[in-house]
Structure 1
Amino acid sequence: MLSLPLLAAAQIPAGAASAQEAPVQPDLPPYTAFSPEEEAVHNARFQALVKAFSTGTGLDSYSPLVAVPGKAQEGIPRRNTAENTISADALQAITDYAAKNNSDALLVYRDGALEHEIYFGDTTKDTLINARSMAKPVTALAVGRAIKLGYIGSLDEPVSKYVTAWRNDPKKSKILVRHLLDMRTGLLPQGAAFDPNHVLNRAYLHPRHDEVIIRDYPALYEPGTRYGYSNATSEMVAPLIEAATGRRYETFISEEVFRKIGAAGGKIWLNRDGGTAHSGCCILLPTEDYLRISLLILQDGIWQGNTLLPAGYVTEMKQGTAENPYYGLGLWVAGTYIERRGVAHPDRDFYKVLHSEPYEADDLVLFDGNGNQVSYIVPSETLIILRLGKRPPKGREWDNSFMPNTVIRGIVKNRGTSKRQPPPQSR
């Protein structure tokens, strides 16, 4: 995977750090300057990002962090190996694949229990892992929970109802809540920027990054008319949640998402002491928390009998749009098979992730974070495969089809009820 040396690319999903949908705009308006002390913090973070990319990594160190407490409940059941529903050969094959590709953790859940759990190197089940853009599905859950609780009326309300600074902007006033989740805000797409004060970098690193996005980030297209992957788009969920609920973003997801699903919780990037949390990236959680988030999707927004999301909300999350049929509300969907696809608009020919063959199940959806960190969710097989870690070593390429297809083909028995084979992804 290529790296953008001077870009807030740490949140871009796997294999796409070089995706640049539109050229950097030469005529962007002047940026809003804040205090000299805050500008110095921004510049120091930018230099740290440059140094990180020079070694082939993203920005792993960030300060300040703020706690996102959970409420650990009974652990997810572990199945005795003798009772596994997936063949040992299939589990070994994906373990070998994970090991060769710089993985930190690999979990496989099926039919109500964890069947496979392995950690690599110094990683343990308690290690807090930054899964980058896996923060984006959390934004969708936060919005869904806020709708369920009545803080937000619907996905089709204008964001400007809550973020009032956008009310008089001819384009931003038309951005709907759903556009923050399906990447159709019309905001400047993600791209390369070599100037520390370019809005792409300020929207990622500045200690007032939320104000940068609200004030300075340009809207290029009419909202709802074009897909354009943008970290800034997801970062706007935190100001939305805070304005709508009166609670800080990290507090809301702690109380209304993580505690409800028995997650242990962790930490999240905060732009400055007392400031705003990053919602597009980056949250640090133990591996099992990412599994629990995936389980909430698998269970249609229900946890231990409690309905946490509005009826039909998870179904909406799984629906692509006419502008990008492969991306729903924070979720990537199977769609029609193509060999390569990435985060940029489908008509852009930038670096795309390999899919060597169609998925074995057409209802597969996935979370995707930078470094090929993925959670494959297959409702027809009550299956989740979670892989966290870094991008593959130089000379190797991640194949997004290998793990789910190997496991689905390795299923040897169904527990409780007889299931038909799910239809494969259409060509």
Structure 2
Amino acid sequence: MNAALSIGMASLAILMAGTAVAQEMPDAAAETLYKQRFDHLFNAPGGAGADSYDILEPVAGARRWTPLPRGTSVPPAALAAARDYARANRSSAFMVWHRGKLVEQSFFGETGDATPVVSKSLAKPLSVIAVGRALMLGKIKSLDQPMADYITEWRGTPKAAITIRQVLGMRSGLLPQAMSTDPANILNRAYLHPYHDRIIIRDYPLTDVPGSSYEYSNANGELVAPLIERATGVPYQQWISREVLAPIGARGGQIWMNRPGGTPHSGCCILLPADSYLRLGILLARGGRWNGRQLVSPSFVKAMTTGSPQYPQAGLGVYLGSPYVERRGPANPRVEFGKTLHSEPYLADDLFLFDGNSNQVVYVVPSKQLVILRTGNTPPRQPEWDNSVLPNLLLRSLR
């Protein structure tokens, strides 16, 4: 953390006081902290990373963590080639699960099996699964329920038409994600402000008719935390701990809070060991079941892995391998930048993936009961990262 941010946090120590009880920050203090976060984000060498998560709260995992059972069902030569590809591309972790067994687990650099890995947008499928669990338990009625049933501030406004499905599938009509160096810009305030949740709910603009367009926006992912908290009466970090991580035997970690005792970031900014992200993929590969217990319904997994007319390769928090597109990014397909190379079609029609910034990927192939994880720093520009290499190396070996 840089000096300016450290000073700002020191000035807010009385607000933190080691408590998770929600506290109101004076407007001046909130704006000061926002400005310090903004300056850190744009002045840190190479951009701010996990060091910018200045208020972290624990997220508990399973009480007794046990490793996944090991196996040897994938040809060693294919695993070695895939491991080499991961290593050459600045990976921190590379894991492969196949038919109930962990067949590969490699860590690079200082990362180990318990090292917290910054999620980036791997947080989004976690948040979607959290909604699926709330549906399973009857806390939310339907994906097509209006968000305004819970985000009551939207009642009587054009945002009242936005459904939960549209938020999870980036079709809410909210302002698309973009880059701005202006501290007054809503995109920055909706991410860095100590009341980012209120800003998104109150001020974030609606630019399209809900459901009419696919537009990637972190605001959609960040809306899941207040949705879960209002629907269940449980803080988001406790909900994902109790209802998602613990039931799948996953380790916990930490999550970035917008302010002491405030709202966590659900669209990003959780730190978990790589194994925990892998287990989320395994849960979906098994149709929402874990050790005989149905945690999310098969119909919900189907909804997650179904595209829309506006973007056939984008489901709810995940991306679909088919129909094939050589270059695909998280933004609307008409946006030319930020697209990832897929040099060939995936060799399984049912493959889908979690896909976060810096090529944090979890590939899920239910038909093969195969899950592949790669986390790490942004790969080198040359040779270019190819999203099809890791899964196709292994799928070819399993034919």
Query: 8 Å contact 2:358–2:377 — kept in the other structure?
Result: yes
Displacement of 1:92 after TM fit? 1.0
What corresponds to 2:34 in structure 1?
42
1: CA distance, partners of 2:223 / 2:26 = 19
Cα deviation code 1:136-177 (max 9, x no counterpart): 00111111111111111000000000110011212x111101
What corresponds to 2:69 in structure 1?
77
2: CA distance, partners of 1:316 / 1:271 = 30
Partner residue of 1:397 out of 363, 373, 384: 384
Unaligned residue ranges in structure 1 (runs of 5+): 1-32, 412-420, 422-427
1: CA distance, partners of 2:261 / 2:274 = 28
Written as runs of structure 1 = structure 2, the 5 A alignment for 1:254-273 is 254-273=241-260
CA 368–34 in structure 1, closer or farther in 2 if over 3 Å, else same: farther
2: CA distance, partners of 1:105 / 1:283 = 17
Runs of 4+ in 1 over 6 A off after TM superposition: none
What corresponds to 2:292 in structure 1?
305
Secondary structure, aligned partner of 1:225: coil
2: CA distance, partners of 1:144 / 1:178 = 11
What corresponds to 2:271 in structure 1?
284
Tell me if 1:180 matches 2:167: yes
Secondary structure, aligned partner of 2:248: coil
**Alignment root-mean-square deviation, CA:** 1.4
Partner residue of 2:109 out of 121, 126, 132: 121
Tell me if 1:359 matches 2:350: no
Quick check: which one's helix share is greater?
A: 2
2: CA distance, partners of 1:246 / 1:59 = 29
Query: 8 Å contact 1:135–1:279 — kept in the other structure?
Result: yes
CA 394–339 in structure 1, closer or farther in 2 if over 3 Å, else same: closer
Displacement of 1:309 after TM fit? 1.0
Cα deviation code 1:331-356 (max 9, x no counterpart): 11112112101111112222310001
What corresponds to 2:148 in structure 1?
160
Q: Partner letter of residue 61 of structure 1?
A: S
Displacement of 1:56 after TM fit? 5.3
Secondary structure, aligned partner of 1:63: coil
Displacement of 1:394 after TM fit? 4.1
What corresponds to 1:62 in structure 2?
53
Q: Partner letter of residue 282 of structure 1?
A: C
Query: 8 Å contact 2:132–2:296 — kept in the other structure?
Result: yes
Q: Which has the higher contact order (CA 8 A, sep 6+)?
A: 1
Q: Partner letter of residue 145 of structure 1?
A: R
Q: Partner letter of residue 223 of structure 1?
A: P
What corresponds to 1:99 in structure 2?
87
Displacement of 1:126 after TM fit? 0.7
Tell me if 1:220 matches 2:207: yes
Secondary structure, aligned partner of 2:122: helix
Query: 8 Å contact 2:176–2:215 — kept in the other structure?
Result: yes
Secondary structure, aligned partner of 1:109: strand
1: CA distance, partners of 2:384 / 2:346 = 18
2: CA distance, partners of 1:294 / 1:369 = 14
Q: How many residues align?
A: 374
CA 106–213 in structure 1, closer or farther in 2 if over 3 Å, else same: same
Secondary structure, aligned partner of 1:260: helix
What corresponds to 2:176 in structure 1?
189
Q: Partner letter of residue 76 of structure 1?
A: L
1: CA distance, partners of 2:229 / 2:268 = 17
Cα deviation code 1:10-36 (max 9, x no counterpart): xxxxxxxxxxxxxxxxxxxxxxx9701
CA 176–380 in structure 1, closer or farther in 2 if over 3 Å, else same: same
Q: Partner letter of residue 110 of structure 1?
A: H
Unaligned residue ranges in structure 2 (runs of 5+): 1-24
TM-score (norm 2): 0.91
Secondary structure, aligned partner of 1:410: helix
